[in-house]
Amino acid sequence: MGSSVRSVGGADPDPSESGLDCLTRRQTEVLRLVARGMTNAQVADELFLSRRTVHAHLRDIFRKLKVSHRSAATRWAVQHGLV
């Protein structure tokens, strides 16, 4: 799993260039479970997080991957070997 990597100037790297490096370890775990079809509540239970924390992780994942919904994030996860 990748770690959080920032480019010069503090901006997030382009996911198409950096692959999993644009996501934190926890974001990668959340994305992997979401891509397997789990709901936010199921992800929260699995990772011992609150639903609100899962929602925040997903918001950040969507922003970093430049997607707006779960299915696009799932497609990205499949393309990058998370599932």
Alpha helix (H) residue ranges in 1-83: 15-18, 25-35, 40-47, 51-65, 70-79
CA distance 60 to 46: 19
Q: State pLDDT tens for residues 17-70.
A: 446 789 999 999 999 999 999 999 999 999 999 999 999 999 999 999 999 999
Q: Which residues have a Cβ under 8 Å from the Cβ of 53 and sit 6 or more positions away?
A: 44
Residue 68: what pLDDT? 95
3-state secondary structure of 20: helix
Boundaries of every domain in the chain: 19-79
CATH code of the domain made up of 19-79 = 1.10.10.10
pTM, entire model: 0.76
Reference 45, options 32, 57, 33; nearest CA is 33
